[in-house]
Structure 1
Amino acid sequence: MMTELRLVGSSVSPYTRKVRALLRYRRIPYQFVRAGGRESEALPPAPLPLIPYVVLPDHNGELTEVMADTTPIINRLEDDYSARAVRPMDPALAVIDALLEEFGDEWLAKCMFHFRWSKLADTETSSSYLAYAMNMTAAPEQGEAFAKMFAERQISRIGVVGSNETTGPLIEESWERYLNVFDRHLQNQSFLLGSRPGAGDYGCFGQMTMLVLTDPTPQSVSRRISPRAFAWTEAMEDHSGLEVDDADWIDLDTPPETLKDLLCEVGRLFVPFMLENANAVASGDKMLECELDGRPWVQEAFVYQAKCLTWLKERYDNLGEIDKARLDNVLSGTGCEALFANKGDRDEKLHSE
């Protein structure tokens, strides 16, 4: 009997929800283990103090191999399990899928963190139940003390993810625009790249579990703009019963017009942010100060996001010339093409906007 992998995390973690829903859809046997519980302590330790992580069986069926970071986890699962893949077979379309995954993981995460820890109602709502997610039997006074401590810690970190008085309005506007284009796009198909979910869907879904389902301020925006987003996020939790085949991906050579609209939103703030951040990291700058969409943006430079950009560029660089041309045709005019331009062209585009 095959040993089931272990997913160690928390149901209140958007990244845990991302991987757990993906495992369900892919019908990969797994057991979910609550981080910090007795069961997780019996497993090999996490490589980083982050959740989620997975513990994989070795060739003897022993749970010995540990992996963290959701994108590498998904890539490993793609290698180990062929059925119901979340990376499109079309390599050019797979680059768009990877871009949408990073947009969810890195930009919608900014939206989530901003609303949750800069708005009093959202801070009170989330911190009040997070204590019990960690310890279900905690006494009320323990829960209140933990909620206060956790909220103070998260609020102190809010600048790290780029939420401050300067950037806050841009983040909130981007959430509204995303919901508008997301709603229009899903009138054509059930998922971002067709009639089956990709990794990009799961990247966006993870953050939307908080933005759409639990946190009152972004949820109220979502209810007003896109009730469809609530239904979609609820449904994404478990698509294990959805039957799919390779024809369910969109044809990149005849994409719906709303895909271009979605990519324009990705290219409006997220792409220039990623490029400016990578430049700051490469220069050794501690702070990133730039303009996004003609407005000032300031935050700490983020090394991890520079690594994410490298992963995206590697996917593009590995394409053949025909697939590069097909992808370039779709990205042209969206702002996303700047990700894959040579450095001289990229710098000229960035500073002409």
Structure 2
Amino acid sequence: MHYRLYGIPAGLYPGKARSYLRKQGIDFVDVAPGSKFFQERVLPAMHRWINPVLETPEGALIQDTVDIIDHFERGPAQNLVRFSAYPTTPKHLAISHLFEMFGGEGLIRPAMHYRWNFNKEHLDFIKSEFALCFPQHLSQKEVNAAFTRGSAHLREATVNLGVTAESIPVIEESFLEWLNLFSAHLADHQYLLGAHATLGDYGLIAPLWQHLFRDPVPSMLIKRHAPLVGRWVERMASTQPYFLEHDDPETLIANDAVPDSLLAMMRFVAEEYLPEIRAHVDCANRWLEQNPDIEPWTNGLKDPGARGLGGGSGLGAGEMASFDWRGLKIKTGVLPYRFLLLQRLQDAVALASPADQEKVRSMFRCAGIEELLDLRTTRRVERKDNLEVWGPNLPD
């Protein structure tokens, strides 16, 4: 039996897992979340509607892209890995974790804006894509009604992620800046850190493939404005080696070096995402202070499957945090999952030698994001039974 990946092609996070499986040449079958098995077995096991979910040949179910990738990288299927997603050098490893976090969380505003604010160009395409989410026995009328309900929820989530009439022009300008910076880097390197994909590439592919390269409007934008990014997306979705632009051996940049083009991308993260994650950590710590009796290994809420701080099931749900972003005051929903990705970066750096830790800090300092290495919630976010939960109180 092959691996089975449950996740729609239009889904942002399934794209991260799908890209990883393809790049590693791992045999798998794409299965729609509307399938009977997903509805009857996967959903009850996940305690909420969420994708992607990977089913192993043995029948185990793994949810979340981090856990899916680590099933191969650090779990029982390491023999299937072609090129590890985890670099072995300290600066490259930290960069990988940084862009894993930034890809899935820091580029979500343009991903959601370009999907949900272009009805004339997108609506028929999106309806067709999202039909794969719904049980296969539904009539077309029932599918249309389900899409109307689901899309209304996602449009609300888009606003809660900071996409408003005031912010849209800035979002579009910022995304063009990102495309320029990434294009400049790809002129010399096949992937983020050299000649094969690493964790940061898999983080970035999530929004850049499933939303921004498949949806009609941003796809044309990328093809016209940033064809190098478009070709990176195409090779991230392919199993075959790629030597059309570079004939480098499939190795990473030598000596843990960080080219100027990559430092420029890190500085973009500082401007684009640091104010938001700082505000989210501050908001979460206030909430934790107000809720000191949360039982460890729970989310402290009536709904154990809630994704937002304080409740709510979708993107942008829960408590809202305000912050200054590119000259605007915006607010976005606080999702504890983001702290899990931040912890992965910090944990990786903490395991390095003191000398290597200083190298990483110096690099992050140069990029204006050293603060990320020290931003922490007063309780760690952990994963238990495919859910995000709060760990025990940390010692003072």
Q: Give yes or no for TM over 0.5.
A: yes
Match of 1:12 among 10, 13, 38: 10
Count of residues in correspondence between the two structures: 336
Structure 2 vs 1, CA of residues 16 and 92 (structure 1 numbering), >3 Å: closer, same or farther?
A: same
One-letter amino acid matched to 1:218: P
2:294: which partner in 1?
none
Tell me the secondary structure at the aligned position of residue 126 of structure 2: helix
Tell me the secondary structure at the aligned position of residue 224 of structure 1: helix
One-letter amino acid matched to 1:112: A
Question: Is the 1:116–1:215 contact (alpha carbons within 8 Å) kept by the matching residues of 2?
Answer: yes
Q: TM-score, normalised to structure 1's length?
A: 0.84
CA drift at 1:162: 2.6
Structure 2 vs 1, CA of residues 182 and 137 (structure 1 numbering), >3 Å: closer, same or farther?
A: farther
Alpha-carbon displacement from aligned partner over 1:174-216 (angstroms, at most 9, x marks no partner): 2111100011100011101111011211221121124442323
1:160-179 counterparts in 2 under 5 A?
160-179=160-179
Tell me the secondary structure at the aligned position of residue 371 of structure 2: helix
For 1:40 and 1:20, the matched residues in 2 are separated by 17
Q: Does 1:239 align with 2:246?
A: no
One-letter amino acid matched to 1:254: A
Q: Does 1:279 align with 2:282?
A: yes
1:182-201 counterparts in 2 under 5 A?
182-201=182-201
Match of 1:265 among 261, 265, 268: 268
Q: TM-score, normalised to structure 2's length?
A: 0.75
Alpha-carbon displacement from aligned partner over 1:67-125 (angstroms, at most 9, x marks no partner): 21112221232113154211112233111101111111112222211222233335524
CA drift at 1:6: 2.5
1:128-143 counterparts in 2 under 5 A?
128-134=127-133, 141=141
Tell me the secondary structure at the aligned position of residue 355 of structure 2: helix
For 1:221 and 1:44, the matched residues in 2 are separated by 37
Q: Does 1:78 align with 2:73?
A: yes
For 2:115 and 2:322, the matched residues in 1 are separated by 24
Question: Is the 1:222–1:230 contact (alpha carbons within 8 Å) kept by the matching residues of 2?
Answer: yes
Question: Is the 1:271–1:335 contact (alpha carbons within 8 Å) kept by the matching residues of 2?
Answer: no
Question: Is the 2:103–2:205 contact (alpha carbons within 8 Å) kept by the matching residues of 1?
Answer: yes
CA drift at 1:259: 0.7
CA drift at 1:34: 2.0
1:98: which partner in 2?
97
Structure 2 vs 1, CA of residues 307 and 21 (structure 1 numbering), >3 Å: closer, same or farther?
A: closer
Tell me the secondary structure at the aligned position of residue 254 of structure 2: coil
1:339: which partner in 2?
372
2:355: which partner in 1?
322
Greater share of residues in helix: 1
CA drift at 1:342: 7.3
For 1:122 and 1:102, the matched residues in 2 are separated by 30
Alpha-carbon displacement from aligned partner over 1:132-161 (angstroms, at most 9, x marks no partner): 434689766555444433322221222332
CA drift at 1:225: 1.9
Question: Is the 1:131–1:143 contact (alpha carbons within 8 Å) kept by the matching residues of 2?
Answer: no
Superposition CA RMSD, Å: 2.9
For 1:252 and 1:147, the matched residues in 2 are separated by 50
CA drift at 1:257: 1.2
Point out the more displaced range, 201-210 or 141-150.
Answer: 141-150
